[in-house]
C-alpha cells in the first residue's frame, strides 16, 4: 500500500510562560499501519537530523494503559476513534493529503510544560488525599471469597477502576471539570468493603482538593464520558455526589 502525504500543524510552546504557536510540517510516505506516535517519532527523527528541536510529547506504555500519550488531534482528545488512547490510534484513520492539527490539553490546572506535554500532577494531588485504602492487606490477607461482593458492585467497581487518569475528561469539558476522574477514583473504592474505612473522609477530601486545584464545576453536558478512552460512565459522578452529600451531613452532626 502506498504511503500517505500529510500536513501536520503542531502546537509548539517552550513552557507555560511562552505564548506558543502552530508550526506546519510536511510528511511523506507515511505507512497507514503506523501508530500515531510512531508517525511523530518519524517526524522527530527528521527534525533531529536537521538540527531542529524535536516535538515534546508524553508517552510510556504505548498499550493504552498509562494515559500519558494524551493530546488533541483535530480537536478531539486522543483523535477521531472512540474508546482508544492516542498510542492506539493508527494512521489508517486518516487519508492521503489530510491536514492534522495536534495540540496539548487546554486547562488551567494542566499548564503546558513544553509543546504537547502538560503538567497533570494535579491528578496526583487528588489521589494523594484519598485514593487509597489503609486496611492491612499484607501478611494475613483473607481469601477473596471470604467477603462476598454482589456482582453488580464488583463490575461497577472494576469499570470505574479502568480510569487511566489521562485527563481527556478535563480537556474536553467546557469548564475543565475533573468530576469524572475524581468520581471514578472514589467509586471504585466506595463500592468495595476495603474502601468503606475511609469512605467519608475520602469523598470530602478529594472533592475539596479538586476544587482547590482550580478544576471547574460539572454541568452534565456529558462530553467527558463521550471522549473518555475507557468509557467511564457519568453514573460515577452521581455516586460521588451521593457519597459527598452523605459525608457532609455526617460531618455536620
pLDDT of residue 16: 86
Q: How far apart are CA 163 and CA 224, in angstroms?
A: 12
Domain map (residue ranges) of the chain: 4-114, 120-135+144-252
CATH fold for the domain made of 120-135+144-252: Fumarate Reductase Iron-sulfur Protein; Chain B, domain 2 (1.10.1060)
**In terms of DSSP bridges, do strands 99-103 and 4-12 run parallel, antiparallel, or are they unpaired?**
parallel
pLDDT of residue 252: 67
pTM: 0.92
Sign of CA dihedral 17, 12, 101, 104: negative
Nearest CA to 48 out of 38, 40, 36, 60 is that of 40
Contacts of residue 145, defined as CB under 8 A and 6 or more positions apart, other chains included, come to: none
pLDDT of residue 253: 59
pLDDT of residue 35: 97
Q: What is the pLDDT of residues 6-36, one digit of tens each?
A: 999 999 999 888 999 999 999 999 999 999 9
Q: 35 has which bridge partners?
A: 90
Cell matching residue 181: 476522574
Positions of the chain with pLDDT under 50: none
8 Å CB contact between 85 and 176? no
Distance of CA 223 to the CA centre of its chain: 13
8 Å CB contact between 160 and 187? yes
Q: How far apart are CA 1 and CA 18, in angstroms?
A: 41
pLDDT of residue 121: 97
pLDDT of residue 133: 87
φ and ψ at residue 67, rounded to 5 degrees? 80, 0
End-to-end CA distance of the chain: 69
Residue with cell 456482582: 151
Which of left, alpha, beta for 55 (phi over 0: left; psi -120 to 50: alpha)?
beta
Distance of CA 214 to the CA centre of its chain: 17
CATH class of residue range 4-114: alpha beta
Q: How far apart are CA 26 and CA 225, in angstroms?
A: 34
Nearest CA to 79 out of 181, 184, 166, 160 is that of 166
Amino acid at each position: 500500500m502506498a504511503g500517505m502525504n500529510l500536513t501536520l500543524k503542531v502546537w509548539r510552546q517552550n513552557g507555560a510562560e511562552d505564548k506558543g504557536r502552530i508550526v506546519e510540517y510536511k510528511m511523506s510516505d507515511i505507512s497507514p499501519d503506523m501508530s500515531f506516535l510512531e508517525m511523530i517519532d518519524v517526524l522527530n527523527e527528521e527534525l533531529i537530523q536537521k538540527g531542529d528541536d524535536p516535538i515534546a510529547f508524553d508517552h510510556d506504555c504505548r498499550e493504552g494503559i498509562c494515559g500519558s500519550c494524551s493530546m488533541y488531534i483535530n480537536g478531539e482528545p486522543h483523535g477521531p476513534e472512540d474508546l482508544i488512547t492516542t498510542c492506539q490510534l493508527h494512521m489508517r484513520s486518516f487519508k492521503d493529503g489530510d491536514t492534522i492539527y495536534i495540540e496539548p490539553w487546554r486547562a488551567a490546572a494542566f499548564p503546558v510544560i513544553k509543546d504537547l506535554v502538560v503538567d497533570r500532577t494535579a491528578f496526583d494531588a487528588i489521589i494523594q488525599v484519598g485514593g487509597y485504602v489503609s486496611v492491612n492487606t499484607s501478611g494475613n490477607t483473607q481469601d477473596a471469597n471470604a467477603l462476598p461482593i454482589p456482582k453488580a458492585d464488583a463490575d461497577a467497581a472494576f469499570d470505574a477502576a479502568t480510569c487511566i487518569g489521562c485527563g481527556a475528561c478535563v480537556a474536553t469539558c467546557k469548564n475543565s471539570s475533573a468530576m469524572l476522574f475524581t468520581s471514578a477514583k472514589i467509586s471504585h473504592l466506595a463500592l468495595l468493603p476495603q474502601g468503606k474505612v475511609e469512605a467519608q473522609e475520602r469523598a470530602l477530601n478529594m472533592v475539596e482538593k479538586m476544587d482547590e486545584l482550580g478544576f471547574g464545576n460539572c454541568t452534565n453536558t456529558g462530553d467527558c464520558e463521550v471522549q473518555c478512552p475507557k468509557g467511564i460512565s457519568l453514573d460515577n459522578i452521581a455516586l460521588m455526589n451521593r457519597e459527598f452529600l452523605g459525608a457532609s451531613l455526617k460531618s455536620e452532626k
